[in-house]
Amino acid sequence: VVPFERPAGPSPRHRTVGVRVGSVMVGGGAPIVVQSMTNTDTADVDATVAQVAALARAGSELVRITVDRDEAAAAVPKIRERLDRLGVTVPLVGDFHYIGHQLLADHPACAEALDKYRINPGNVGFKEKKDRQFGAIVELAIKHDKAVRIGANWGSLDQELLTHLMNENAASAKPREMRWVTREAMIQSALLSAARAEEIGLGRDRIILSAKVSAVQDLIAVYQELARRSDYAIHLGLTEAGMGTKGIVASSAAIGILLQEGIGDTIRYSLTPEPGGDRTLEVKTAQELLQTMGFRTFVPLVAACPGCGRTTSSVFQELARDIQNWISTSMPEWRRTYPGVENLNVAVMGCIVNGPGESKHANIGISLPGTGEQPAAPVFIDGKKAMTLRGPTLAQDFQALVLDYIRK
Ligand code: SF4
């Protein structure tokens, strides 16, 4: 027998220079930061304040807002002020495209209220104009002591750079190989822009890089290379991830693999919400990824089996759902009352096959009776069978036991 010696866990974190964004550290060994972005019109102060507050309360540690025109820029300081009054201190990131240099220069209160400026090097202009406009934003970041994210994006790639690389490689690369040239253009766009920002005088401890792509394998390749070539703090995210399970699965696959390789200091799930859907889903999903991979803890984890032909009654599914919902709604209060509660593991299992075993691995677990089993549900606390529940109040009784465990 060959002993299984390989330690479980991710590769050591890629070493990056830490960047302070308001009160939050990104990179430099700090915990991986969860962030998100509003989809309200920033000029609508009420709607934007409400959504930023909801995202922050759901656990978003940075929130990005679109700053696309004068009205939006003028609203930013009002949004900051209203959030402060509500006690929502989450740092705000301004998302700028095309005319960021103008908006930041014309609205100094906006430039001051934001904690980070996102620049897209693909749409700040061409040639001398690009240099001037990019330089103007960087100078304003230096003046206001703000962090900058240089965010290259597959959908708005620096065409000048792409054309240059295409021409340079046209002789050697076959047309179907040109995809790697596009990936290279993404990497170079981010790195050359960062180098230019440093040349202008922005410290490396004020620069975060991202190079977002919408295809999983491309994204992994681009970020691996970005990390290999630099020590800038890294913002990870699959752009245009899509709706529903597709967006969640694709983002989790890409971000999860990179995090496992030690790459990534802050993550965002760019999920397309259902019309009128819950924007905070992207925050909860990001938290769940970090927690299930063991990077951070946010809420107690509920392990539940999928159920099968041995769980034909609905008792098991209902209990698993009720416990999950109860924990989610109780967390804001529990976090204040019971420090460390987020480390709790609860198991809700459907039958005797894996129920007792899995329940023993949890802090507290219950193994419900499957079809044909005795109508009794053993409860395991800290790995030992503590009691057996039965009867119509079984769900409430188990809930009371979980709360008792948390209190103790
Ligand atoms: Fe089915 Fe039991 Fe396994 Fe759950 S633990 S999936 S009920 S066999």
Q: From CA 201, how far away is CA 55, in angstroms rounded?
A: 33
Whole-number Å distance, alpha carbon 244 to ligand 1 midpoint, is 27
Residue with tokens 């859907």: 277
As a whole number, mean pLDDT of residues 357-368 equals 95
Phi, psi for 167 (deg, rounded to 5): -65, -40
Whole-number Å distance, alpha carbon 375 to ligand 1 midpoint, is 16
Closest protein CA for atom 8 of ligand 1: 353
Whole-number Å distance, alpha carbon 309 to ligand 1 midpoint, is 8
Q: Which amino acid is at 217?
A: Q
Tens of pLDDT along 106-141? 999 999 999 999 999 988 877 888 889 999 999 999
Helices 45-58, 70-85: inter-axial angle, 10-degree rounding:
50
C-alpha radius of gyration, the chain, whole number: 24
Q: From CA 210, how far away is CA 122, in angstroms rounded?
A: 12
ipTM value? 0.98
Question: Annotated binding residues for [4Fe-4S] cluster, as ranges?
Answer: 305, 308, 351, 358
Provide the terminal-to-terminal Cα distance of the chain, rounded to the nearest Å. 42
In this predicted structure, the answer to whether residue 170 has a pLDDT above a threshold of 90 is: no
Tens of pLDDT along 204-248? 999 999 999 989 999 999 999 999 999 999 999 998 888 889 999
Tens of pLDDT along 241-275? 888 899 999 999 999 999 999 999 999 999 988 88
Point out the ligand 1 atom lying closest to the alpha carbon of residue 352: 2
pTM metric for this prediction? 0.91
DSSP states along 259-304: HHTT--SEE---EEPPTT--TTHHHHHHHHHHHHTTS---S-EEEE
